[in-house]
Structure 1
Amino acid sequence: MLIRYSVENFLSFNERQIFSLIPGRGTLKAQHKSSPVNGLTVLKSAVIYGANASGKSNLIKAIEFGKNLILKGTKAEQPISFESFKLDKNAANADSRFEYEIQHKNKNYAYGFVFNSTEIKEEWLFEITKTSETKIFERETVKGFDLSYFKKLNKKEENQFIEFTAKSTPRNQLFLTQIRNSNITEHVSNIEDLLNIIDWFQNALTVIYPSSKNKENSFKLFENTDLQNLFTEMLDYFDTGINGIDLKEISFDKIDVPEDLKEDIKAELLSKKSEKTSAFLSNPQDDKYYIILKKQPDKLAAKILKTKHEITGGGHELFDLRDESDGTRRIMDLIPLMIDLFKGNNVFIVDELERSLHPNLVYDLMDFFLDKCEGINSQFIVASHESILFTQKLLRKDEIWFIVKDKKGGSHLHSLEDYNIRFDKELRRDYLLGRYKGVPKLGNRNNLTILP
């Protein structure tokens, strides 16, 4: 679970901004809150609103950037590739900063780092409770590493290996990346906290964009008849007109996608450190097919998904995915997400949830999760323009967020919790009129030059 996230000097974020999933003062919709872990409870959903180019997608890109920097790292002697805030000359020479407060494996952590294009200047990990914090490790350019926490847990030889791993961490690499890429678990007994953070980024956090094709969500549709039936039931529930699915075996090597993407998929699924056993893959150009990949001991097996449609007079016709509507394909992308949400311990962040979907479907997707989420610690966080979600009948005030840009082009975050609003007030009209900000400010059309 994501407790809180902060970003500074990255893309459209200049000053430090904080996105918080810590519940506010409201007591309604208690099922929207997770079970407490060491005194900390977290909200299970959030909807982020904002005008076009306000920074919604940039917030999601920032969250994913940290994940990729940990899991993929930076090549030796290469710069850390990112964009700092461009509309302030001072920002070009300033460091950038990320911090993730997360809840995972029955513990709460604060992990973050300060960096620029050439080096990681600071990095830290603390275990936190509602009233205290314990340093796991800290790293500074001048002072080096503070690894004293591990001395209490491990033998002298094991601590020497941790110290060696720290000292061998390149300037442009995160310590967590170095830990992930080393064989440290074979030499050190107690580094559970480091592994927990890596596990959250690798196996709990999933970011989905409107054009996402390689879905990271783990979903055992390949050989599980019950899940195939559930997939079909949900396709019917969402009124897609599909009467069933069929899976045909194909060769993974013959799938028509770029070779570098295939290698990335193999590395992700066949990694001994990955808990994922299966994934989805769509054609990057035209969604011609929908591939389900299954991890086997030394290779990936693949099956292509076909949809069934009833033929008048009896029987079925099999359709390729390109024969289905954009909305149906979007629903098929999101159904595995919904199934994984109910497994628990997943965080899904979706940009433009409403793409190709009817407003009623968008509402029902969020309502479906919130209606069934009691006792399940997963999070469904979305960025959207769809105002149908903007209602206290569906969401708590602290689950509704806005991103706006100031006059200098910097993105700023604030929550509906900041406004003094009755719990029964209808919000949608006021939002569209701009009371809570996060809507476009249109110019005067009479000032436009209309060409003949």
Structure 2
Amino acid sequence: MLIRFEVANFRSILDPVELSMVAIDQDRTETHHIENLGESLLAVAGVYGANASGKSNVVAALAWLRMAVLRSLVRWEDRIPVEPFAFGTSAESSAAFTIEAVVEGVRFEYVVELGQDAVSYEALFHYPEKKRRRIFEREGRELRLQRGLGHLTGTRDLLTDRSLVLSIARRFNERLVSDFVEQIRNIQVLGLQQIDQLWRSQLRGTARSTQTWFEDPVGRDQLPIAELEYLDDDAFIDRGQALALLQLADLGVADVIVEDQLMENPASYLAKPQRVRRTRLLHRAGTRRVPLDFESESRGTRAWFELIGPVLSALKSGSLLVIDELDASLHPSLSEQLIRLFHDPTTNSNGAQLIFTSHDTSLLNHLNRDEVWLTEKDENGATRLGALAEFAGERVRRSQNLERAYLHGRFGALPDVDRTDMLRALGLIA
């Protein structure tokens, strides 16, 4: 489970901002107590703020770090594709990322500082028996390893100025490293729009697409290798869970049909037809059931369907699901149901976590004060991120109506609209 994430000098973020999943109000069934940590961790966190305040950049930084860990060794030959603070003179300064997580009950801390030309610092620590111990620490190309990890010395031979130690060391099957990397790898990030093509395909993590939850076991051999790689032996017994989640939205869907279809290649009449998997939703129409092509479904129905695979993957593996602009396609009632799935220990027994950005203030009625974070920009255009629970130096009351207080500007993070200029631009006033 994620404990906290910190980032500095990335896109609209200049000074360090931190998103913490440590619960303030720990006496709740929605939190997960970690014995070795001595704290309870949140299952849900929502990030709110005005447009262009940097909400998406907070979650994009987490997605970028995941991509970096998985791809630096094979993709960072000429330059490191990091984006420093966009509105100042920080291009030559290092971006800095810190992520802390619990793996098998033990706290891990990973820190990396890098620029577009080189990695300046990188370290991985863990806290067995609550005491900090170094797994590795790197300054430039100088690498120090924990005693007893001699088989990781081959990492030095592959290390370059622009590759991460963690990307290399994960290949040596050392559990202290591989278990931590696996947790990073399992992070799923959905909804980000402005992302580099280089890491677009890396965002979803190991999530099975929703379609594969409805596959007929007989058709398993027809699945693409990329999807088969992540299927467990019991992959197809979860069909009932996926259907139940689909029907939770009360869309009138009775079932899902996934079948093979031969598709002609319009670019060349000589090319052989391609076999593709076609998805149709079976709708109730009186006493009949009528199939409808997935492309003909409403945007909201398609959005909910596409979320089912990532959500069930997260709940099953106890991993982190990040969704940017949760309210972009979902009805507020469905967003509320999604939050409930992660809050409820019955459906979330493995410690899965949900982090989302949103403008939907109605969801504040379903979040505790320590589950809400706010972004705003300072006079230099830099994003600031603050915990609602500690707003203005004083704790927000647990009983406070968060939606009403937010809409009345009690916590800031609202757009500052100059109506005079807007009306003049529209020609409504002189």
How does the TM-score come out when normalised to structure 2?
A: 0.82
CA displacement at 1:239 relative to structure 2: 1.3
Distance in 1 of aligned mates of 2:265 and 2:399: 53
1:441 paired with 2:423, answer: no
Distance in 2 of aligned mates of 1:20 and 1:355: 24
CA displacement at 1:38 relative to structure 2: 4.4
How does the TM-score come out when normalised to structure 1?
A: 0.78
Distance in 1 of aligned mates of 2:264 and 2:138: 46
Distance in 1 of aligned mates of 2:306 and 2:13: 30
Which residue does 2:162 correspond to in 1? 172
Distance in 2 of aligned mates of 1:125 and 1:57: 26
Which residue does 1:366 correspond to in 2? 339
CA displacement at 1:254 relative to structure 2: 8.2
1:332 paired with 2:305, answer: yes
Aligned residues: 385
Which residue does 1:345 correspond to in 2? 318
Which residue does 1:86 correspond to in 2? 86
CA displacement at 1:374 relative to structure 2: 5.9
Distance in 2 of aligned mates of 1:66 and 1:254: 40
Residue deviations 1:268-290 (CA, integer Å, cap 9, x gap): xxxxxxxxxxxxxxxxxxxxxxx
AA of the residue aligned to 2:246: L
Which residue does 2:242 correspond to in 1? 231
Corresponding residue to 1:403 among 350, 375, 380: 375
Q: 1:316 to 1:30 in 2, by over 3 A?
A: closer
AA of the residue aligned to 1:402: L
CA displacement at 1:302 relative to structure 2: 6.5
**Which segments of 5 or more consecutive residues in structure 2 lack a partner in the other structure?**
194-199, 218-234, 267-274
Which residue does 1:209 correspond to in 2? 191
Distance in 2 of aligned mates of 1:114 and 1:446: 43
Which residue does 2:232 correspond to in 1? none
Which residue does 2:271 correspond to in 1? none
CA displacement at 1:373 relative to structure 2: 4.9
Which residue does 1:113 correspond to in 2? 112
Seq. identity, %: 24
Corresponding residue to 2:259 among 248, 269, 274: 248
Conserved 8 A contact 1:31-1:374: no
Q: 1:136 to 1:367 in 2, by over 3 A?
A: same
Conserved 8 A contact 1:348-1:381: yes
CA displacement at 1:315 relative to structure 2: 3.8
Distance in 2 of aligned mates of 1:369 and 1:42: 12
Which residue does 1:17 correspond to in 2? 17
AA of the residue aligned to 1:162: L
CA displacement at 1:36 relative to structure 2: 3.1
Q: 1:106 to 1:29 in 2, by over 3 A?
A: closer
Conserved 8 A contact 2:252-2:284: no
Distance in 2 of aligned mates of 1:67 and 1:172: 16
Residue deviations 1:355-409 (CA, integer Å, cap 9, x gap): 2222222222212331345643110111111101112xx3221111111110101
CA displacement at 1:329 relative to structure 2: 0.6
Q: What RMSD, in angstroms, separates the aligned Cα atoms of the two structures?
A: 2.7
AA of the residue aligned to 1:422: R
AA of the residue aligned to 1:46: A
Distance in 2 of aligned mates of 1:231 and 1:131: 39
CA displacement at 1:76 relative to structure 2: 5.7
SS of aligned partner of 2:253: coil
SS of aligned partner of 1:84: coil
Q: 1:255 to 1:308 in 2, by over 3 A?
A: farther
Distance in 2 of aligned mates of 1:13 and 1:255: 46
CA displacement at 1:207 relative to structure 2: 0.7
AA of the residue aligned to 2:63: E
Corresponding residue to 2:283 among 309, 315, 336: 309
AA of the residue aligned to 1:198: V
AA of the residue aligned to 1:423: R
SS of aligned partner of 1:243: strand
CA displacement at 1:34 relative to structure 2: 4.0
Conserved 8 A contact 1:10-1:84: yes
- The correspondence of residues 255-266 of structure 1 with structure 2, limited to 5 A, is none
Distance in 1 of aligned mates of 2:39 and 2:27: 18
CA displacement at 1:248 relative to structure 2: 0.3
Conserved 8 A contact 2:87-2:381: yes
Distance in 1 of aligned mates of 2:111 and 2:129: 18
